[in-house]
Amino acid sequence: MSISLPILSTQALRSRAARLPSMSAGLRSMSATALARTATTNPRALASRFLGNRRLLVVAVACFAALPSSLAAAPVDLSSYADRAARIAKAAAEDDGGWRKLVELCDDVGPRLSGSDNLACAVEWAQATMRRDGHENVRADPVTVPRWTRGAESLRILTPREIDIPMLGLGGSIGTPADGIEAEIVSVAGDEGLTALGDGARGKIVLFNVPMSRENERFGAGYGPAVRYRGAGATMAARSGAVAALIRSVTTRTLQSPHTGAMSYAGAPEQIPAAAISVEAAEMIARWNERGIPVRGVLKMNAQSHPPVQSANVLGELIGSEKPDEIVVISGHLDSWDVGQGASDDGGGVVTAMEALTLLRKLDLRPRRTIRVVLWTNEEFGLSGARRYVIDHKDEMERHVAAIESDGGVAEPIGFGVRTNDADRTNRAAETLKRIVALVPGMKLDAYSGYGGADISRMHDFGVAQLGLDADMTHYFDVHHTHADTVDKIDQAELQRNVAVMAVTAYILADMPGRLGDIDADATP
């Protein structure tokens, strides 16, 4: 699917994309374990572990300081990069290229669900855009991805009064019979509530009314515990004999928006339809239940899974001047949900990576190693692109020096969570990164042992250092996976600061003499 294109209008790209062939391989569209793993490796799911990791980091750094000097890192001297970092940051502040890319991706291509024509259009757009920016080795690595369509859907409460409830089916759910499933809706406050209900769930629609906590919102710490019900709610409900599952949308603030996302039938005795409803509706149903008022409704969903289709990861490079075979990956995921525009999840991450490379090229800053943009396909529905990449690039994996992902929004940058397969190495990497981000003028950035990203987590077993570009997540979940995840929610200046942090960090990691996390990584050039 690597097609050499002149600069095409998105209209032309769309018509090309519509003609891309579907693959008819009889592969199961989505592995349940893949989804389960997605849920547990999600940055938000792991954010709650961050504080614990940070405490570990303090202990580990203290231990590291006590090592014999022969094993300790050479004194870090990255000061020779200060001028270049300042040039990059100034250029990023003045450059609106990332913003213009985001507007094109969101307004012209639109939402990019796995397996959709829009996602195919985005694959073409990304290649054409990176070629226009003059990048090297621009290509699309083919990846087979699942295809699921939502179709028409509704939830109507019949008693105690008739009302249509804002809802979105969960990705991967089966549909209902054409005339829907009519049943009593019972709300539970979690799995203990469901257990307490016993046989009372049989034949009912179970609503998991589990709020997302506002604890440590800056890092989205409340997401993990609450999103569990989105992933596994249908299985839990089916085990209790329920006929459908509803979840309270996973968010801390709400204006009647339902939030979709992936679900799984792993371990389910049978598949039942699953949907998210607005927080307001979930609370109303729970209040009726508490007052002993029975609630009855009819759920209609036309959701369908289809045979997998071909998509692609999109790659582009700035080839290194001295060690072109060594690679620093900078990345975001090209796919999104089918509602809204996928602006903050993850259009912002996509254009942050793309524009960081463009900025370095414009400034004629070619590092010693290669910087490779990777725009992952299908993060949301099971990490298809990330899984394929480590297979197709297996021989290169040991030469991947680091991989950075931006997939937590592009609000004010906070710094980097870093993860490697060795605690000492992680601590050395975090210490080096602290010094690197300190070179970005005008920002308060940090680096800490933490989480990299869902897509780059596939490189963990190959020993690749994984870096998550963290931005303030306080408002990330307001629009996450909703109709409201649109480009107007993104602050252009904040996006440009993310580009600055990505470009400075990628440049220094690709240029400094040692490899991030190695004992002598920071040796003076």
Give residues in contact with Zn ion (CB under 5 A): 345-346, 407
Q: Distance between CA atoms of 326 and 512, rounded to whole angstroms?
A: 12
Instruction: Give dist(CA 51, CA 53) in Å, integer.
Output: 5
Query: Catalytic one among 326, 379, 405, 431?
Result: 379
Taking the least distance from each CB to Zn ion, the nearer of 141 and 346 is 346
> For 373-491, where are the alpha helices, taking DSSP H only?
384-392, 423-437, 476-479
Distance CA 372, CA 510 (A): 10
CB neighbourhood size of 7 (10 A): 9
CB 452 within 8 A of CB 468: yes
Q: Which string of DSSP letters, residue by residue, matches 275-336?
A: EEE-HHHHHHHHHHHHTT---EEEEEE--EEEEEEEEEEEEEEE--SSEEEEEEEEEEE---
User: How many CB atoms within 10 Å of residue 414?
Assistant: 23
Least distance (Å) between residue 98 CB and Zn ion: 17
Amino acid at the residue 507: Y
* Residue pointed to by tokens 């629009």: 479
The DSSP code for 44 is H
Contact 371, 318 (CB under 8 A): yes
Q: Residue 57 Cβ, how far from Zn ion at the closest point, in Å?
A: 25
DSSP state of 267: T
Closer residue to Zn ion (CB): 34 or 128: 34
Rg (the chain; Cα; Å): 23
Q: H-helix or E-strand containing 73?
A: none
Are the beta carbons of 369 and 402 closer than 8 angstroms? no
3-state helix, strand, coil in the chain (%, to 5): 40, 20, 40
In the complex, the smallest distance separating the C-beta of residue 137 from Zn ion, rounded to whole angstroms, is 25
CB-nearer residue toward Zn ion: 331 or 370: 331
Shortest reach from residue 345's CB to Zn ion, in Å:
4
Tokens 């089966």: give the residue. 174
CB of 378 to Zn ion, least distance (A): 11
At which residue do the structure tokens 């459908």 appear?
A: 244
The residue among 42 and 426 lying less far from Zn ion, judged by its C-beta, is 42
Between CA 105 and CA 310 the distance in angstroms is: 20
- The number of angstroms, rounded, from the C-alpha of 250 to the middle of its chain's C-alpha atoms is 15
Q: Cα-Cα-Cα-Cα dihedral of 305, 308, 311, 312, to 10°?
A: 120
Residue 338 or 345: which CB sits closer to Zn ion?
A: 345
Nearer of residues 81 and 223 to Zn ion, judged by Cβ: 223
| Choice between 180 and 348, CB closer to Zn ion | 348
Nearer to Zn ion, 73 or 386 (CB): 386
Nearer to Zn ion, 180 or 231 (CB): 231
Q: Tokens 């083919």 label which residue?
A: 142
| Per-position DSSP letters for 460-521, written without gaps between them | GGGT-EEEEEEE--TTHHHHTTSTT--GGGS-HHHHHHHHHHHHHHHHHHHHSSSPTTSTTT
Q: How far is CA 352 from the centre of its chain?
A: 13
398 catalytically annotated: no
Which residues are marked as active site?
A: 379
